Chain A
Amino acid sequence: MKIDLTDTTAGEINKALTEGRRAIGTPAVGMVLTLVIVTDEENAYDALRAATDASREHPSRTLVVIRRVSRTPRDRTTSRLDAEVRVGADAGAGETVVLRLYGEVSDHADSVVLPLLLPDAPVVVWWPVDAPLDPAEDPLGALAQRRVTDTYAAEQPVRELAARAETYAPGDTDLAWTRITPWRSMLAAALDQVDCEVRSVEVEGEEFNPSCELLAMWLADRLGVPVQRSLSSGPGLTAVRMETTCGPVVLDRADGSLANLSIQGQPGRAVALQRRDTAELIAEELRRLDPDDTYAAALRYGVERLSAGAEAVATLDGVPAGPTEKAADKAAEDEAVAEVAVAESEAGTEEGEAERPTPNSLARKAASK
């Protein structure tokens, strides 16, 4: 059932939700969270479809916030809120409200969303594209326990990762991180099967895919060994090679679905590592709503500390600088982190310490700069 409301308010939308539920005969039970999707008109359809699929596992109220572009000064000063309320079969296992914000109200989306949150249930905000620089400080992000961004959709994913590390707050998470859960779990399982030390790691994957960097940073953080990021033509991640004291352990996925795990002295084994669609990623993301400390640690390891292969250096530095000031700011921040890292590691060698600086101390120092 669909109810269209034009030039409306949150109060009327709430009334429409109640009426819609009465009309189809089901009370508002069992919904476990409110999912707020902040997006533009172009990406709203796909995002909503993924959320609806995911709602079969996590029945939720989905609020889609679409900020409409105002093209004239007159548009910008007037303000209007349109809403489309969907309950029952049209909304998966939950209810959906699509909010279109015109003019001034689009700067105050939180005032529309706040009254529509489910009582006493967690809130998740998801930006499929154009996530704010600091999700936790964003007015909508501040309403949420969990803030989902996607660096894969960013113009300059690697820079974006460095920026995310700067602004990380507990509850932040990244779909680029969610994408690598099967890889991480398989790599952990692979190391369960051998009894030796890892010396170095190489992570290979397509360009502009931050999942590769995140995986590399996670490995570097957990293993404490140099990790090299190298490029391939994809799809996605293609291989992880670990040099260990008992020979190489390689997880290799050329076709994006069936991987091969080879361990020195053991026969090669096929491992299913299908690339997952957005609905599955969102479903995984909604499964736990507590801060993901492992993600934080990996992110804070610092993308610039990965030793890059010759081509990969190009990704980091060779990307044409962003046209906006913001990108320049970010680049400056990157340098700051990099400087600290270099300084730290130099200091370390001088004192003859083999220990690397901890990611946390690094981030703190960068912040104090």
Chain B
Amino acid sequence: MSPLNGSGANPLRDPADRRLPRIAGPSGLVIFGVTGDLSRKKLMPAVYDLANRGLLPPGFSLVGFARRDWEDEDFAQVVHDAVKEHARTPFREEVWQQLIQGMRFVQGTFDDDEAFERLRSTIDELDKQQGTGGNFAFYLSVPPGAFPVVIQQLKKSGLADQSKGSWRRAVIEKPFGHDLKSAEELNKVVHEVFEPDQVFRIDHYLGKETVQNILALRFANTMFEPIWNRSYVDHVQITMAEDIGIGGRAGYYDGIGAARDVIQNHLLQLLALTAMEEPSSFGADALAREKTKVLGAVRLPKDLGADTVRGQYAAGWQGGEKVIGYLQEDGIDPESKTDTYAALKLEIDNRRWAGVPFYLRTGKRLGRRVTEIAVVFQRAPHSPFDHTATEELGQNAIVIRVQPDEGITVRFGSKVPGTSMEIRDVSMDFAYGESFTESSPEAYERLILDVLLGDANLFPRTEEVELSWKILDPVEEYWDEHGRPAQYKSGTWGPAEADEMLARDGRSWRRP
């Protein structure tokens, strides 16, 4: 006979049994702001996909909280439609039947004490009916302004209290403030109610396979790490480009801008993963320690005017479509100084990276939608070939393509077939879509599962968020006081000033 208890001594569980997936324990997910876009397009489909892959526990419960006057059935219908439209895996009736048993809807506003009381009783009821064991994650898919209210309500109604053996977790989405001060305030509000290990900050980039693969590429192989330093790397370019404009997000976007929206979280996280030292383990603490260390070593350029660039998209043609400029968008002040393009040159003050610039850029209405990290290597110190032979040879590069078409490209020189010696760039390609087709889960699937499992290594911590703001705040302050964003034509790769910024260093942007 074998003693059993719920906390991992289950005799049917064996680490060597790798077929058995990591299934979340008994638990439920409460989504605030469940009527929003994110919830319908990403969260609900991710929950279904997890269930379809058999990764959710029996009795998993999904609770929606919103102002709408819905019954449980209406909510189930909305989830059903969202799943049919957006889920990655095919719709299967029996999976749906499993999910629908645990679906509840609680109607109310965030300042309504009674609604939270109802939420509480719904959760208690689910514990009894579905066996969720008091384990609930609260997903705050709400505007930043509503954060403090919801958090306080959770505290007031006792929903944040973890009773013995069960857990409560809070999941929050960016923006994590709009500068260091507001981020600190937000963290204070959150941590008044939830302990640091109960808080999961979603940066969906970190849930992407390729981003996790940066660590695998660097630390599971031997052939990259020896050259991953200032002796061989000339510079690093991290790009996140979007082809769309601000769409309907004018209210949120104006006053925030590209740098706060993208660089502060996504790009600085990518920088941290690219530049960090090897962590002692893949555990959350060890990872956070190394990321914090490298973010702490990031140094801004001395001349912020010369080594930072911001821009606004102007009217133009984007991919065969005539589009208007940022200042002409609905709901945007024609005098707005908000940046829709931002480029920074950063350096990292440590032995590995001293003197190697990291160029970060992001923008809307650029050539195409792409996110990539390009590590560009120095030229060979000496070439036995004569000048004409290597005229067409560029610099070697390793490019990690984050999206779309996830994969890795290695660029190097190769002899052109023929009698003369001529060397030209070729690329060698590894595409996730080719070697492991279709099995890549969506970022949100991975992240939601990690929240339910309590696995925190893909979530940025308070210190990382605050350090990122420390890097960005001086730039934003400088921009506030000096000049205006440069205009760039929609559908191009950003303002001329950005090209000049690299040209001064004798470099140029890659065309991603």
Contacts and interface: CB of A to CB of B under 8 A. Distances in A.
Query: Do these two chains interact?
Result: yes
Contact of A192 (B51, B57, B92, B101): B57
Contacts of A335: none
A32 interface: yes
B10 A192 contact: yes
A49 interface: no
Given A261-B58, A267-B129, A274-B94, A188 B20 contact: yes
A293 B4 contact: no
A258 B98 contact: yes
Contact of A267 (B21, B93, B130): B130
Query: Which one of B16, B26, B59 has the greatest number of beta carbons of chain A within 10 Å?
Result: B59
A343 interface: no
A191 B1 CA distance: 14
B66 to A, nearest CB: 26
B434 interface: yes
Given A195-B5, A198-B2, A269-B58, A188 B437 contact: no
A261 B98 CA distance: 11
B4 A182 contact: no
B11 interface: yes
Interface size class of B (residues with CB under 8 A): 35 or more
Contacts, number: 148
Contact of B58 (A271, A293, A294): A271
B12 A57 contact: no
Contacts of B435: 30-32, 59
B304 interface: no
Contacts of B25: 189, 192-193
B130 A269 contact: yes
- Contact residues of A: prevailing secondary structure: mixed
B57 A294 contact: no
B97 interface: yes
B355 interface: no
Interface in B390-443: 429-431, 434-439
Contacts of A224: 1-2, 11
B17 interface: yes
B101 A270 contact: yes
A31 B436 CA distance: 9
Contact of A197 (B2, B93, B434): B2
Given A93-B437, A274-B94, A294 B14 contact: yes
Given A30-B434, A184-B20, A223-B11, A271 B4 contact: no
A225 B59 CA distance: 27
B131 A195 contact: no
B12 A191 contact: yes
A23 interface: no
Given A57-B437, A188-B13, A181 B98 contact: no
B133 interface: yes
Interface string A4-31: 0000000000000000000000000111
Given A198-B2, A258-B94, A266-B131, A292 B19 contact: yes
A165 to B, nearest CB: 18
A182 B435 CA distance: 25
Query: Which one of A30, A186, A267 has the greatest number of beta carbons of chain B within 10 Å?
Result: A30
B384 interface: no
B244 interface: no
Given A197-B2, A269-B101, A188 B131 contact: no
A316 interface: no
B145 interface: no
Interface in B1-57: 1-6, 10-14, 16-21, 23, 25-26, 51-52, 54, 57
Interface string A188-204: 11111111111100000
A192 B12 CA distance: 9
A257 interface: yes
B95 interface: yes
Contacts of B59: 193, 261, 266, 269
Interface string A161-192: 00000000000000000100110111111111
B260 to A, nearest CB: 38
A182 B129 contact: no
A222 B131 contact: no
A272 B95 contact: yes
B58 A190 contact: yes
A274 B129 CA distance: 24
Interface in B127-153: 128-131, 133
Nearest to B59: A269
Contacts of B3: 197
B14 A184 contact: no
A110 interface: no
A188 B434 CA distance: 33
Given A29-B429, A198-B4, A274-B92, A222 B14 contact: yes
Given A57-B438, A57-B439, A181 B19 contact: yes
A197 B1 contact: yes
Contacts of B93: 257
A148 interface: no
Interface string A239-276: 00000100000000000011001010011011111100
A269 B61 CA distance: 11
Nearest to A92: B437
A199 B2 CA distance: 9
A191 B14 contact: no
Nearest to B12: A188
A127 B18 CA distance: 23
Contact of A182 (B1, B51, B54, B57): B54
Contacts of A287: 439
Nearest to A244: B4
A60 B131 CA distance: 43
A57 B436 contact: yes
Contact of B19 (A266, A272, A294): A294
A223 to B, nearest CB: 5
A263 B93 CA distance: 24
A193 B17 CA distance: 20
A86 interface: no
Nearest to B432: A30
Interface in B63-121: 92-95, 97-98, 101
B216 to A, nearest CB: 15
A57 B437 CA distance: 4
Contacts of B17: 184, 293-294
Nearest to A181: B19
Nearest to B51: A272
Nearest to A257: B94
Contacts of A244: 4
A288 B19 contact: yes
Contacts of A104: none
A114 B21 CA distance: 34
Given A197-B3, A261-B59, A294-B16, 13 more contacts: A29-B429, A58-B437, A59-B434, A188-B23, A189-B23, A193-B6, A195-B5, A224-B11, A257-B94, A269-B101, A284-B19, A288-B18, A293-B17
3 closest Cβ pairs, A-B complex? A30-B434, A188-B12, A294-B17
